[in-house]
């Protein structure tokens, strides 16, 4: 079945998940280091405040934290970490499928171009995408999404022996005492 967005849906630009566990807080949109300045510049143009936190770091030593960041994340603007700051929820403009418009759609991060594809071989879609709730996690017509995902994977490839994940400290009020902030070594 061909992938197409569900009428009026903006879910993937609003809902943020705890990943990989609640301890790590809610994640944002993955931003490659080469995209960070560009996204900050677009935020300035649109007069938006954005928070970009680290996401994945690497090191050659086991202690002391990462020495290089290989991915950042664009955090949601809501107190609980939801809602991308570039999502236009205020105007009456809508995307072709009726969802809220992305203010930087043509220049959106590679991760947004890849979504909802989360695996390229075999091609797998994110079960949290509203299309998947109705149609399952496989689809055709996702060549550009797959290409973007492969591109991200290639750019994040590393031979470093230690990989670190950043806990954002952000999430729903009722989870606050379970959420950490800072770097944790991946096991």
Site for ligand SF4, rule CB under 6 A: 5-6, 9-13, 29, 84, 86-87, 99, 102, 104, 108-109, 112, 115-116, 129-131
SS3 43: helix
- Distance (Å, whole) CA 72 – CA 176: 22
- How many distinct helices (H) and strands (E) make up the chain? 5, 9
Nearer to ligand SF4 by C-beta: 99 or 171? Answer: 99
Nearer to ligand SF4 by C-beta: 1 or 184? Answer: 1
Nearer to ligand SF4 by C-beta: 66 or 109? Answer: 109
Minimum Å gap between C-beta 138 and ligand SF4 is 14
Q: Please give the helix or strand (H or E) that residue 59 lies within, else none.
A: strand 52-59
* Closest among 116, 114, 138, 148 to 129, alpha carbons compared: 116
Nearer to ligand SF4 by C-beta: 102 or 160? Answer: 102
Find out whether the peptide bond into 67 is cis, omega within 30 degrees of 0: no
Minimum Å gap between C-beta 95 and ligand SF4 is 8
Minimum Å gap between C-beta 65 and ligand SF4 is 28
């Amino acid at each position: 079945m061909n992938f197409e967005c569900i009428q009026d849906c903006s879910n993937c630009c609003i809902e943020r998940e705890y990943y990989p566990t609640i301890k790590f807080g809610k994640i944002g949109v993955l931003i490659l280091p080469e995209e960070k300045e560009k996204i900050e510049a677009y935020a300035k143009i649109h007069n938006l405040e954005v928070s970009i936190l680290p996401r994945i770091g690497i090191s050659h030593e086991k202690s002391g934290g990462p020495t290089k960041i290989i991915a950042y994340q664009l955090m949601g603007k809501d107190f609980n970490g939801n809602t991308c700051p570039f999502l236009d929820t205020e105007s009456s403009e809508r995307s072709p499928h009726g969802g809220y418009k992305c203010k930087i759609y043509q220049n959106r991060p590679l991760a947004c171009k890849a979504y909802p594809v989360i695996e390229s071989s075999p091609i797998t879609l994110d079960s949290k995408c509203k299309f998947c709730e109705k149609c399952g996690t496989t689809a055709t017509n996702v060549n550009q999404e797959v290409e973007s995902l492969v591109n991200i994977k290639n750019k994040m490839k590393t031979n470093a022996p230690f990989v670190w994940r950043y806990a954002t400290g952000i999430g729903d009020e009722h989870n606050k005492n379970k959420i950490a902030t800072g770097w944790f070594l991946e096991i």
